[in-house]
Amino acid sequence: MKAIERRSPRVLREEFPWLKSRLPSPWTNSCFVATVRGAPLSVIKRYVETQKDR
C-alpha cells in the first residue's frame, strides 16, 4: 500500500499539474482495504457512509 501511496500522487500531478494547488495532500488519515465477497451492497455502502463521520 505504501508503494502505491508514494507513486500515485506523483503520476497524477505529472498528468494534471493543477492538482498541486487544488489538492496539496492526496491522502486522508485513514485507509481501508478488504474483500467483500458475498456482502450485500447495502452493507458496504452503509460502512463507507459511516466512515465519513469519523
More confident residue, 6 or 39: 39
Task: Give the span between the Cα atoms of 14 and 42, in whole angstroms.
Answer: 37
Percent of the chain whose predicted confidence (pLDDT) is above 70: 69
CA 11 to chain centre: 15
What is the span of the domain harbouring residue 11? 2-52
Q: Which three cell numbers stand for residue 20?
A: 498541486
Q: Find cell 452503509 and name the residue.
A: 46
Residue 1: predicted pLDDT:
61
pLDDT digits 0-9 by tens, 4-22: 666 777 888 888 888 778 7
Could you tell me which residues come within 8 angstroms of residue 1 by beta carbon, excluding any fewer than 6 positions away?
A: 31, 33
Residue 42: predicted pLDDT:
93
Alpha-helix residue ranges (DSSP H) falling in the chain: 2-15, 19-22, 41-52
Q: Average pLDDT of the chain?
A: 78
Percent of the chain whose predicted confidence (pLDDT) is above 90: 4
What domain count does the chain have? 1
